[in-house]
């Protein structure tokens, strides 16, 4: 008789299955912000954060390249390009703060829930704008109030 050796099988903690955007949109409401959905949005946010950081690095390198031009109109064009690039990076810097906040919210379990009402923000809205912290209704209310009373 051949002797069989018993091997201990270590149970690995199960990783949530990676979902596609289509699968998330089709998921029933009871699955809202389950482990797999949170993993999907975390991956999306990490990729966005990495892209924003890469853009910032590229801008830094581009601005350090000293292009010497003697023509005033060429110099003005370069200055305008630099200004536009810096303005874009400033917007991305603000977006990066929102991405970091969203990643913290995933970790503390509050991601996907409206900060004002506590209701679900909704998967379609989060796919379109993964840094959303308000439901569509709460955001519309806030915008109406800002329009009436200013910022």
DSSP string, 114-133: -TTT-SB--HHHHHH-TT--
Residue 3 has pLDDT above 50, yes or no: no
Domain residue spans of the chain: 31-149
For residue 106, give the nearest of 133, 124, 80, 129 by alpha carbon: 133
Q: What is the pLDDT of residue 16?
A: 61
Integer Cα distance of 122 and 86 in angstroms: 33
Give the residue-averaged pLDDT of 51-61: 85
What's residue 2's pLDDT? 47
**Looking at domain 31-149, what is its CATH homologous superfamily?**
DksA, coiled-coil domain (1.20.120.910)
Instruction: Tell me the whole-structure pTM to 2 decimals.
Output: 0.76
- Note the pLDDT tens digit of each residue in 112-130: 999 999 999 999 999 999 9
Reading the block at residue 58, the tokens are 């590229």
Residue 141 vs residue 76, higher pLDDT = 141
The pLDDT tens digits of the residues spanning 5-54 come to: 444 444 455 566 677 888 888 888 898 999 999 999 999 999 999 999 99
Q: Which residue has the higher pLDDT, 66 or 27?
A: 27
Residue 145 has a pLDDT of 92
pLDDT digits (tens, 9 = 90+) for 135-151: 999 999 999 999 998 76
Q: What is the pLDDT of residue 14?
A: 58
């Amino acid at each position: 008789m051949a002797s069989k050796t018993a091997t201990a099988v270590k149970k690995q903690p199960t990783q949530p299955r990676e979902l596609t955007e289509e699968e998330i949109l089709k998921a029933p409401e009871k699955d809202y912000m389950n482990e797999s959905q949170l993993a999907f949005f975390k991956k999306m946010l990490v990729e966005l954060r990495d892209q924003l950081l890469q853009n910032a690095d590229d801008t830094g390198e581009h601005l350090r390249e000293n292009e010497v031009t003697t023509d005033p109109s060429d110099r003005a064009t370069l200055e305008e390009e630099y200004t536009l690039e810096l303005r874009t990076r400033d917007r991305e810097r603000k977006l990066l703060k929102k991405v970091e906040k969203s990643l913290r919210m995933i970790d503390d379990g509050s991601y996907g829930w409206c900060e004002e009402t506590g209701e679900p923000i909704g998967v379609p809205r989060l796919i379109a704008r993964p840094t959303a912290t308000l439901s569509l209704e709460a955001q519309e209310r806030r915008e109406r109030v800002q329009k009436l009373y200013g910022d």
